[in-house]
Amino acid sequence: MTVETGPQPQQRPNPQSSLSTQAARNLATTTKSVPQMQEITSRWLLRMLPWVEVDGGTYRVNRRLTYTVGDGRIEFVQEGAEVRVIPRELGELSLLRGFDDEDALTALAARCEQRDFRAGEVLVERGTAADRIHLIAHGRIDQISVGAYGDESVTAVLADGDRFGQDALLDSDATWEYTAVAQTSGTLLTLSRADFAAVTAAAPSLQRHVEEYSALPEQRQNRLGEAEIAMSAGHTGEHELPGAFVDYDLNPREYELSVAQTVLRVHTRVADLYNKPMNQTEQQLRLTIEALKERQEHELINNREFGLLHNAAFNQRIQTHSGPPTPDDLDELLCRRRGSKYFFAHPRTIAAIGREFNKRGLYPDHVDVGGQQVPAWRGVPILPCNKIPITKENTSSILVMRTGEDNQGVIGLNQTGLPDEFEPGVSVRFMGIDETAIISYLVTTYYSAAVLVPDALGVLENVQIARTSG
């Protein structure tokens, strides 16, 4: 049974007995942080590079005379499933280095035959006759040779732009010294000795070039391609000593300082009225300079003129043996140069390195760099650099370098003592106030990088960083 009652009296809220916190904030001074910025990174590359003062704006790298052997990579054009070599790219072959007859190069390019291969296919067999050169347009190929004890081992990994079998174009008795096995599917172009001879016979300029190439003495250079310094050792008696001198490169590489600039604009009303507790102009400059330095590090890695990824010598670029970055791959990077000082890799690549180490039960050492503990391999620190690009196929690169002028390594180039210098190497110039009361400042920094000798910088390319199943 339900008992009906009359209307209940409404409860009144308790009257406020003190000042509310919302109202109190109108009289309070808030504690504020300085403006934050997500783009700021550790910038290890800028911190670790030895910086050399370039007063004249240009740095010249004088080297001992080196004979160019044409070890650049070859580029192709693709139209659907058809792949063709760019004629002038054939000049990257040592045999055709310096040859510029466009008609003859075009004829050679037209004779190249396309061959598509599948993973696991044997492309050439060790010990068989070699009668053609192979130009790799796409894919990865292992060169497998037999050691002194009869065991097979991978001696090289070739990829896009590489080639093998150049000696077969001139040597009729050439044989393959290794077996080439496709690690992935891909495409290559082949040029036979017969086709090369046919084009040579029809092109007098090419014939003269081949004769001059064949007549070059082999003793004029050392194993690194530098002009030989004649000397005698181990002789007895009154042996006539050879005369010697050190020849220099007549056209040394010059690096001009690049520039990163921006115009910072601040309204006079902001600069006049809103400068406490923080100076607005100083905070604007601080964040602008941070962004400028981030751009500077990006250019040092990726700029096509002086960026490290583009200035690594082709014979100092290697491929991973299986895709992920294994300890064996890092060892191969280290063994190609003396005194390696730093590895640089994208943070995701460093994570992939850690996974490969964990699979093998390895735990890399940690070393102190600038008061911070960082992972290292063989005593060489592995430092993060998020400016190293990652491709859409989830591959990246790992750099290793020797640094310093005294070590014939990689150096950074800059200039300090600039007019209106705000901090070393960064200039902030007042540009005036326009008719809308906007103050303008020109913020400038100059920089570049130089590789003093080719083996100072190495790159492990096409590093697979995606997590694999299993």
Ranges 29-43, 144-158, 179-193, 369-383: which has the least confidence: 144-158
Confidence of residue 231 (pLDDT cuts 50, 70, 90): low
Tokens of 273: 């009225």
pLDDT of residue 24: 79
Q: Give the mean pLDDT of 75-89.
A: 81
Q: Within a 13 Å sphere around the CA of 138, how many CA atoms are in the beta-carbon half?
A: 14
* Position 61, amino acid: V
pLDDT of residue 433: 94
Question: Residues 213, 233: contact at Cβ < 8 Å?
Answer: no
Mean pLDDT of the chain: 86
Q: How deeply is 32 buried, as exposed, middle or buried, from its count of CB atoms within 10 A (0-12, 13-18, 19+)?
A: exposed
Pairing state between β 410-414 and 51-53: parallel
pLDDT in tens, 307-351: 999 888 877 888 888 889 999 999 999 998 889 999 999 999 999
The three-class DSSP label of residue 375 is strand
Q: Residue 52 above 90 pLDDT?
A: yes
Q: Residue 397 above 80 pLDDT?
A: yes
Is the backbone peptide bond immediately before 327 cis, with ω within 30 degrees of 0? no
Backbone φ, ψ for residue 114 (5° rounding) = -80, 140
What percentage of the chain has pLDDT greater than the value 90? 51
pLDDT in tens, 111-124: 999 999 988 899 99
Tell me how far apart the alpha carbons of residues 172 and 305 are, in angstroms, rounded to a whole number.
41
Q: Which residue has the higher pLDDT, 387 or 275?
A: 387
Instruction: List the end-to-end C-alpha distance of the chain, in Å, as a whole number.
Output: 70
Q: Give the mean pLDDT of 421-450.
A: 94
Pairing state between β 122-124 and 342-345: unpaired
Confidence of residue 449 (pLDDT cuts 50, 70, 90): very high
Q: Residue 192 above 70 pLDDT?
A: yes
Confidence of residue 91 (pLDDT cuts 50, 70, 90): confident
Confidence of residue 446 (pLDDT cuts 50, 70, 90): very high
pLDDT of residue 219: 47
Q: Give the mean pLDDT of 398-402.
A: 96
Question: Residues 300, 307: contact at Cβ < 8 Å?
Answer: yes
Question: Residues 409, 341: contact at Cβ < 8 Å?
Answer: yes
Q: How far is CA 108 from CA 59, 71, 95, 268, in A?
A: 39, 19, 13, 67
Tokens of 93: 């072959």
Question: Residues 160, 391: contact at Cβ < 8 Å?
Answer: no
Q: Residue 220 above 70 pLDDT?
A: no
